Amino acid sequence: PSQVVPGADPSARQLCFAWGPAEVLVCETLFGHRGGSPSRGEGGPGRALLPGTLTACVAGTGEGGPSSSRLFVVRKDQDIYIQTLRKLFNESHGIFIGLQRSEEELAGKSRKAQLVQVSKNYRSVIRACMEDMHQAAILTRDPALHSQYSTQVSILSAMELIWNLCEILFVEAAAAGPLLLRLLDWVRLHVCDVDNMVHEVLSSENPSKHELFWNVVDVFVLQGRMDEARHLLSKEASANPTSVNMYKILDDLMKKMPVPSLGNTQTLTEMELKWQHWHEECQRYLQDGTFASNSHMESICKILLGDEDAILEKKDLMTTWYHFLVTRLLYSHPTVKPMELRFYAQACMDLFLGGESSPEPLDTILMAAFEFEMHQVIKECSIALSNWWFVAHLTDLLDHCKLLQSHNLYFGSNMREFLLLEYASGLFSHHSLWQLGVDYFDHCPEYGRVYLELHIERIPLNTEQKALKVLRICEQRQMHEQVRSICKIMAMKALRNNRLGSALSWSIRAKDAAFATLISDRFLKDYCESGCFSDLDLIDNLGPSMLLSDRLTFLGKYREFHRLYGEKRFSEAAKLLLMLMTAHIAPCSFWMTLLTDALPLLEQKEVIFSAEQTYELMRCLEDLTAGKSDKQKFQDDDVETMKVEMLRLALARNLARVIVKEGTLEGS
Amino acid sequence: VWDKSENGDWHCTASWKTHSGSVWRVTWAHPEFGQVLASCSFDRTAAVWEEIVGESNDKLRGQSHWVKRTTLVDSRTSVTDVKFAPKHMGLMLATCSADGVVRIYEAPDVMNLSQWSLQHEISCKLSCSCISWNPSSSRAHSPMIAVGSDDNSPNILAKVQIYEYNENTRKYAKAEALMTVTDPVHDIAFAPNLGRSFHILAVATKDVRIFTLKPVRKELTSSGGLTKFEIHIVAQFDNHNSQVWRVSWNITGTVLASSGDDGCVRLWK
């Protein structure tokens, strides 16, 4: 199916495109108009061919006149129903995880019961979502929204219908007997078109006089709701004393009808025998003409006998071929076996549709289910539904029931994994639902990890919190390369925005020594220029991460020196300062600054540097100045030479004082 | 350059004229290197750009500044494509020109985008139109580039060539040529590799074609050997019914997008 991009200029503007994380950007180009080589042809009308639910909208226009090109954003039409489906995604995620972690050791009946419960949970989530959507449809005033919601409601309803049938046939694998009862429940739950009519008649003052009275009785009979049918008939009986006899007989027949039991109170054979007798009894009454005077009651008796034509006459009350199927089975083969369903199903569908209409996608899916073609069901659903939610979860459940043989796809992963991967990939385009996607990938043994690696790197990291959240997920899974990469990206962003502290903490987290060195250099450079440090808190609390890079260690220690000095712990500060140079922690380029920092310590009233330390300092100064060539010394500006001179003087003075001090005996 | 704002709208935040000829392609570097773009043009140059975070006024007005970090002027003809290498190879890019030369440049210091050195020059003997790096970071695969040609000459030379980096000779050498592609090639793209042992390559020519390249065991006799590949065509789509200009893979390599002269963009799964 193709989607016309609205507003795309048909006159020879081609479309070019690029993939985004969640969408495709399509842009008009002027290829072929001017400046290009003649081999580039002209384009036709702007059209993008996209699967079903993608929509295109104009995203923005460039500045300027007629030569400006427009940019279109093409994305899946998720905006509307993502909101209301969020509940579905969130809650089904919980059920999914629970299923993956559930006790595999439970065998046989208890395991089956567990799986059936999971299936029921999924269905109740679908129903809850349907309710919400229905409410939203009622409350909205926008007709377009209303129709969208209503469409969604019917899609959800169809999904629940299909799931329910799959639950009966595959998960619970109902055997002959209970099978019919389940199917009856299924029909009663899903054919609601007649509910209004039923309600209308029942709530009227005199139901038996209502024009739709017999319709409602028929509905009850068709759905096997004997008690309710009998109840209504009794009202009619009391109103018509002349036909009391007829009613009594019919009532009796309906009361006596054998139904399969859920418990083990009777075997199938027993039931079949009973049913045979009952069937014959009904037959006799019909043939005797007992109901001849009342066409309604006669048709009911025919229905009880499973007369195809009689049942078909009530087509409008059944509305669907599968209702027809179940009714027919109820009154002709109540002990139908699962494997026999397919024959009856096909026949019923053909009869019901009668060549007037052709099967719709929903019909094909249900038929495939009756035929126990699980793969076909999944395939048809994948095609018919616009989002992978349904097939992914259903297939996963069926896989847990050990019903799917590994259907190897070309890249080696089986169908369950394929569908889960598709579903989870789709979640990643949402700004918060991506977190659910992570768990789904975790449970895809073959490709889950690599898909997660690819997707998680592309999550837009707009805020620090989001980045931290993503990082935590990567760290939990030992995805070291992704951690490194994300931290690097965040560090780069911070650096570009001159947030050095943030950049530093990101590079520490990434364990990126090279980058940490670079940022430390920036810090030091800033210090030299401005005379103070930024982000003191961070540097003061580096702790062991200081050791990541030499430059970083120096930065930390240098800051410590300043702190010690500020706290007037001069001798410690002095020791540290000296150590920074002698242990070669400080880069040579910084030595001058360090020596200059030593000046105030040398000028203190108290002698701080010992003789040995002073000798060391002198040696450092000489190393520094000796390293320069004569030419460089000549080019040094006055400030530099003055500094060196001052240092030499201060050092000499300190040496003098300290020799005296150390040479002096205490006390005497 | 367009930016997406908080509420999901796209705004044009920068627009500038720089090359003296049509700009053929632009490509982004990995965000690990910052906000970096490369462009190539008919004016025989390729350029590398970096976004500078400007004054806060500009931010409010929604404008950003881009600064040219380097111009690569080695080509003597129009530069038809420029692509950054996969990030695990460092900051590296490849350009290809109309005279058939593919050049690979590297910036040894990733913080200094003005220093790029020409590491390799590969002569393809056919006018080149597009290149694609193999994104696989697996150690089992050497760096690999596919080069496409739109040469119109009557020789039926294969229009797609694969070059592989040889660890021993430290050079790129031709590993394969796709003999079945004889029409001009407009775009070429390796698919992301999800741990597969083989490579997938999409080619945009008169139709959309997808090839698999399975490495065959390297011959032990040849010196450090080039890999030999088993090439199979796995798909061919002519739905565009016209020249196909661009092909591009999604992140997981499960969907291919193509655009063509019929004005359509098609998605293949």
Q: Name, in order, each residue with C-beta under 8 angstroms of B2's C-beta and a sequence gap of 6 or more.
A: A60, A71, B10, B11, B12, B13
Rounded average pLDDT over A237-247: 79
pLDDT for position A89: 92
Contact B195 A450 (CB under 8 A): yes
Of A19, A451, A498, the CB nearest to B257: A19
d(CA B226, CA A655) in angstroms, rounded, equals: 70
CA distance B13 to chain A (A): 9
> Number of folded domains in chain B?
1
Contact B267 A59 (CB under 8 A): no
d(CA B232, CA B81) in angstroms, rounded, equals: 26
* B38 located within any domain: yes
Residue-range domain boundaries for chain A: 1-30+69-76, 186-336, 463-567, 570-627+637-667
The number of angstroms, rounded, from the C-alpha of A44 to the middle of its chain's C-alpha atoms is: 38
pLDDT for position A476: 94
Contact B249 A451 (CB under 8 A): no
For B52, the closest chain A residue by CA position comes to A496
Q: How confident is the model at residue B156 (pLDDT cuts 50, 70, 90)?
A: low
Contact B9 A425 (CB under 8 A): no
Is the pLDDT reported for residue B26 higher than 90? yes
For A73, the closest chain B residue by CA position comes to B10
For B249, the closest chain A residue by CA position comes to A19
d(CA B59, CA B37) in angstroms, rounded, equals: 20
Position with higher pLDDT, A17 vs A329: A329
Is the pLDDT reported for residue A293 higher than 90? no
Is the pLDDT reported for residue A44 higher than 50? no
Rounded average pLDDT over A522-544: 80
Which residues in chain A are contacts of B21 at CB distance < 8 A? Answer: 35
Of A24, A35, A485, the CB nearest to B32: A485
Of A48, A421, A518, the CB nearest to B111: A518
Interface residue of B264, B268, B269 to substitute, partner A, most A CBs within 10 Å: B264
* B62 located within any domain: no
DSSP string, A501-541: HHHHHHHHHTT-HHHHHHHHHHHHHHHHHHSS-S-HHHHHT
Rounded average pLDDT over A62-80: 50
pTM reported for the whole predicted model: 0.82
Contact A458 B251 (CB under 8 A): yes
Structure tokens at B180: 């079945």
Q: How confident is the model at residue B117 (pLDDT cuts 50, 70, 90)?
A: very high
The interface pTM score, or ipTM, of the predicted complex is: 0.88
Q: Which of A3-12, A516-525, B39-48, B125-134 has the lowest mean pLDDT?
A: A3-12
Contact B246 A59 (CB under 8 A): no
CA distances from A454 to A482, A484, B135 (A): 9, 14, 12
pLDDT for position B12: 86
pLDDT for position A323: 92
Torsion, CA B104, CA B109, CA B110, CA B113, rounded to 10: -70
* B264 located within any domain: yes
pLDDT for position A33: 36
* B95 located within any domain: yes
Rounded average pLDDT over A461-467: 88
Structure tokens at A208: 């038996």
Rounded average pLDDT over A330-354: 90
Contact B34 A496 (CB under 8 A): yes
Residue contacts between A and B (CB atoms, under 8 Å): 117
Contact B150 A35 (CB under 8 A): no
* B11 located within any domain: no
Three-class SS state of A229: helix
Backbone angles phi, psi at A432, to 5 degrees: -130, -25
Q: What is the DSSP letter of A385?
A: S
Contact A60 B196 (CB under 8 A): no
CA distance B247 to chain A (A): 9
Contact between residue A135 and residue A127 where contact means Cβ atoms under 8 Å apart = no
Q: What is the mean pLDDT of chain A?
A: 81
Interface residue of B11, B32, B127 to substitute, partner A, most A CBs within 10 Å: B32
Rounded average pLDDT over A527-544: 79
Torsion, CA A404, CA A408, CA A412, CA A413, rounded to 10: -30
- For residue B209, the domain's CATH number is 2.130.10.10
pLDDT for position B244: 92
For A518, the closest chain B residue by CA position comes to B111
Q: Which of A68-82, A94-108, A267-281, A546-560 has the lowest mean pLDDT?
A: A68-82
Is the pLDDT reported for residue A372 higher than 80? yes
* B179 located within any domain: yes
d(CA A406, CA A232) in angstroms, rounded, equals: 53
CB atoms within 10 A of CB A60: 16
Is the pLDDT reported for residue A124 higher than 80? yes
Three-class SS state of A245: helix
pLDDT for position B134: 94
For B16, the closest chain A residue by CA position comes to A63
Contact A35 B22 (CB under 8 A): yes
Position with higher pLDDT, B216 vs A96: A96
Which residues in chain A are contacts of B245 at CB distance < 8 A? Answer: 14, 16, 31, 40
d(CA B233, CA B212) in angstroms, rounded, equals: 6
Contact A14 B245 (CB under 8 A): yes
pLDDT for position B216: 83
Contact A454 B251 (CB under 8 A): yes
d(CA A492, CA A498) in angstroms, rounded, equals: 10
pLDDT for position A525: 84
Position with higher pLDDT, B219 vs A53: B219
CA distances from B225 to A6, A124, B168, B169 (A): 54, 61, 9, 10
Sequence-separated contacts (24+) of A588-597 with Cβ below 8 Å: A588/A624, A588/A627, A590/A524, A590/A554, A591/A620, A591/A624, A592/A624, A592/A643, A593/A528, A594/A558, A595/A620, A595/A621, A595/A624, A595/A647, A596/A643, A596/A647, A597/A561
Position with higher pLDDT, A218 vs A637: A218
* B187 located within any domain: yes
pLDDT digits (tens, 9 = 90+) for A184-213: 999 998 877 777 888 888 888 777 778 888
Q: Are strands B264-268 and A47-49 parallel, antiparallel or unpaired?
A: parallel
Domain assignment of residue B133, given as a range = 23-48+73-268
Which residues in chain A are contacts of B243 at CB distance < 8 A? Answer: 41
Is the pLDDT reported for residue B25 higher than 80? yes
Rounded average pLDDT over A335-363: 88
